[in-house]
């Protein structure tokens, strides 16, 4: 089976969940030295300069708890956490997960369970929280995503960008503010 980014149902769920959003915080999680574990940080890094003004991007790596004050000051209505997680699927597959509906305390590859972090952020801000969980192929020491996760990152980036731009009525291919910088 071919690995896939959010399937049609999940990308529709993302757009539906974002409907009515006023301010969105997108959190990229993962270790930059553990191959596919970095997928959340890669996606958020690639979103920089492409999202509407009312979207705050945070690369939290493996310590999202260090960013709770920044998240609170952003006054989000919605928080999307992007992370590699064992969702018992093929590498590169992804799901939009409501942390309240997860069984047990962890689906993440990190020590701090995302369910606990998500619940805390929800209580702290009143925002609706979702996790975009992406199945890693490898979390071995290394600095590059595997091919499957590189493709999944690019496809999820496109889906997230389209959903955010549709909600905030921005053009899909907004030029980067640094586009003309090197002329």
CATH number at residue 149: 3.40.50.1450
Q: Provide the pLDDT for residue 107.
A: 53
Residue 125 lies in a domain: yes
Q: Provide the pLDDT for residue 115.
A: 85
64 compared with 171, residue with greater pLDDT: 64
Residue 104 lies in a domain: yes
Q: Provide the pLDDT for residue 182.
A: 40
Chain segment 130-152, per-residue pLDDT in tens: 999 999 999 999 989 999 999 99
Residue 175 lies in a domain: no
Domain that holds residue 152: 8-167
Q: For residues 53-70, give the mean pLDDT.
A: 95
Average pLDDT of the residues of the chain? 86
b/e for 89-99, b at 16 or more Cβ within 10 A?
bebbbbbbbeb
Give how many domains the chain has, as a whole number: 1
Residue 107 lies in a domain: yes
Q: For residues 58-72, give the mean pLDDT.
A: 95
Q: For residues 17-45, give the mean pLDDT.
A: 96
d(CA 4, CA 24): 25
Q: Provide the pLDDT for residue 109.
A: 54
Q: List, as own/partner pairs, every contact residues 68-72 make where C-beta atoms lie below 8 angstroms and the sequence separation is at least 24, other chains included.
A: 68/120, 68/121, 68/124, 71/25, 71/27, 71/121, 71/124, 71/125, 72/124, 72/125
Residue 21 lies in a domain: yes
Chain segment 74-96, per-residue pLDDT in tens: 999 999 999 999 889 999 999 99
Residue 154 lies in a domain: yes
């Amino acid at each position: 089976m071919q690995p896939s980014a959010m399937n049609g149902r999940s990308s529709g769920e993302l757009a539906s969940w974002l409907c009515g959003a006023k301010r969105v915080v997108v959190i990229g999680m993962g270790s930059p030295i553990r191959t596919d574990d970095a997928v959340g940080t890669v996606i958020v890094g690639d979103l920089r300069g492409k999202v509407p003004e009312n979207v705050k991007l945070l690369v939290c790596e493996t310590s999202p708890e260090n960013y709770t004050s920044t998240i609170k000051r952003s006054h989000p209505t919605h928080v999307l956490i992007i992370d590699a997680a064992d969702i018992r699927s093929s590498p590169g597959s992804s799901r939009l997960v409501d942390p309240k509906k997860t069984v047990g305390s962890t689906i993440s590859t990190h020590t701090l369970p995302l369910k606990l972090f998500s619940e805390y952020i929800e209580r702290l801000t009143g925002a609706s929280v979702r996790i975009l969980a992406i199945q890693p192929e490898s979390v071995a020491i290394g600095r590059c995503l595997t091919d499957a996760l590189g493709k999944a990152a690019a496809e999820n980036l496109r889906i997230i960008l389209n959903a955010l731009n549709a909600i905030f009525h921005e053009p899909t291919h907004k030029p980067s503010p640094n586009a003309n910088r090197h002329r």
